Amino acid sequence: MAKPMENQNSIATPISPPAIAHIQLLSDQLDDLYRAMRDERRAIAQWEEDQEFSILGVLELFSSDIQGYAQQILAGAERANLKSRREHLRTLNVFSVDYFAAWYFAQWSRYPQAKQYVEQLDHLRLLVIEYLGTVAIEAVA
Amino acid sequence: MTYSNDASDPYKTELFFRYTDSEVAEIQVLMQRWDQATYSTLPASIVKHAKKHGFSEEYLRYLRKADNFNKKAARKKFLPDGAIRWNKGSEFLIERNGKIVTYGENG
């Protein structure tokens, strides 16, 4: 019996619209970036030991929720609860978390890979919001 | 070996693939501690998090490590949306509403 999901991308519904292909690409790139920033994650983890907040915690939590919505789209399950999903995605803005924004904009050149990850994550979030909006419009039309 | 191809959820097929009946039963128990969150299914959430954290095709090991995470002496930090991050050494666990959102290592 053939091994399932030899390529995890193969589970997606046929991807032809550029927006879906873009969501797939960004989501895959995020995981690549995550692995590449291992040294920076270790350094941030040591730095935030003495803090009351967790930058890595926000990143893990928000990336999980945003990539989950992206996964729903790639699995072809994007048509339910469009409004509530877009509203939730609007709250998943890492820059709306005060301590996270302060960390991000302080010492701009530190942790370049982690900050690239943040930018890519927010790009994916905005793309998913836009895509779900398009689906909602098509559903009404 | 138990392998049931579930066309409705390829992630479930991926999660159970290669495992014996008793291991599948253990996976089914351990996965009840996890949060489906925004993923299409609970198996999708677990498979995606395991792959992200370097446990591709080692799903049972990933679930066991998350389950065995010892919160005693772990650093606790509050996150948005009522979530909590537990950190101990290089390991971390994030929970929300009493369910596991993700587990990983930064070391």
ipTM higher than 0.95?
no
- Which pLDDT value is given to residue A139? 74
pTM score: 0.89
Quick check: B85 and A56 CB within 8 A?
A: yes
Q: What is the pLDDT of residue A107?
A: 76
Name B96's Cβ contacts closer than 8 Å, sequence gap at least 6: A61, B35, B37, B81, B82, B83, B84
Torsion-angle region of A106 (φ positive above 0: left; ψ -120 to 50: alpha; else: beta): beta
Task: Among B40, B85, B90, select the one facing A72 at the smallest CB separation.
Answer: B40
**Given pLDDT bands bounded at 50, 70 and 90, which one contains residue A140?**
confident
Amino acid present at B21: D
pLDDT at A65 > cutoff 90: yes
Q: Which amino acid type is present at position A138?
A: E
What pLDDT score was predicted for residue B67? 98
Q: What's the confidence (pLDDT) of residue A14?
A: 41
* In chain A, residues 68-87 whose CB comes closer than 8 Å to chain B: 68-69, 71-72, 75, 77, 85
Q: Which of B38, B85, B90 sits opposite A57 (nearest CB)?
A: B85
Residue B13 host element (H or E): helix B10-16
